[in-house]
Amino acid sequence: MRKMTLMLLGVLILMFSCKSPEARRPVTQKSGSYINEAIERNKKIVAAEEEQIQAIIEEDSTNEYISSPNGFWYYYNEKDSTTTTTPDFGDVVEFDYDLKTLDGQTIYSSEELPTRTYVMDKEKLFSGMREGLKLMKEGETVTFLFPSHKAYGYYGDKKKIGRDVPVISTVTLHKITEENKTQNQ
């Protein structure tokens, strides 16, 4: 009888000591206010940068600026009207470029940056440059004005370019090698 009572007592203890787990509630709850604040801050940054770029364009009467649908501005230093070939996905391009601040201070000169060989859309390159190269033909030199979100953005390049720095870049496209030609070699 004693064994039976102990077993019954043990079963009862096990039954009543186990209960379903309860969800833990967070100590603090955050709303989407941080995201909304970040969106507003970024809109202000973009507007201020575009204002600066528009002021540069208005002051410069010697060049004809073109507004890209991709969110940057450019003008041709040297334009080639005889060829029609622009780089496509997978094509290999060779180009030189420099980077300056909007007030003209050199960040990286073309001598500091070696001639770059880039496979279109298959390698890392900041979005403005990637989109700008697609507008160019072999032998052309173009000056681009990139707002920071089209250049190095919030993080910069972790060397000479800080966060949210719009840049001016003069790019010379030396050579375009089409993808099917590089595969056949």
- Integer Cα distance of 9 and 95 in angstroms: 84
Please report the pLDDT score of residue 29 as a whole number. 63
Place of tokens 């955050």: 30
Percent of the chain with pLDDT over 70: 90
CATH architecture of 65-184: Roll (3.10)
Look at residue 80 and tell me whether its pLDDT is greater than 90.
no
pLDDT band at residue 31 under the 50/70/90 scheme: low
Q: Could you give the 3-state DSSP secondary structure of residue 146?
A: strand
Domain positions in the chain: 65-184
pLDDT band at residue 18 under the 50/70/90 scheme: low
Look at residue 185 and tell me whether its pLDDT is greater than 60.
no
Task: From residue 93, give the alpha-carbon distance in Å to each of 13, 67, 96, 172.
Answer: 76, 23, 10, 11
Place of tokens 């070696």: 114
Place of tokens 């509630």: 25
Please report the pLDDT score of residue 25 as a whole number. 75
Furthest-apart CA pair in the chain: how many Å?
108
Q: What is the pLDDT of residues 81-139, one digit of tens each?
A: 888 899 999 999 999 999 999 999 999 999 999 999 999 999 999 999 999 999 999 99
| Contact between 148 and 93 (Cβ < 8 Å) | no
Instruction: Count Cα neighbours of 3 within 13 Å in the Cβ-side half-sphere.
Output: 0
Q: What is the pLDDT of residues 37-62, one digit of tens each?
A: 888 999 999 999 999 999 999 999 99
- b (16+ CB within 10 A) / e for 63-91: eebeebeeebbbbbeeeeeeeeebbeeeb
Q: Can you give 147-170 as a three-state secondary structure string?
A: CHHHCCCCCCCCCCCCCCCCEEEE
Residue 178 is given by DSSP the state: -
Residue 83 is given by DSSP the state: -
Instruction: Give the contacts of 88 (CB within 8 A, at least 6 positions apart).
Output: 120, 134, 178, 179
Look at residue 19 and tell me whether its pLDDT is greater than 70.
no
Mean pLDDT of the chain: 89
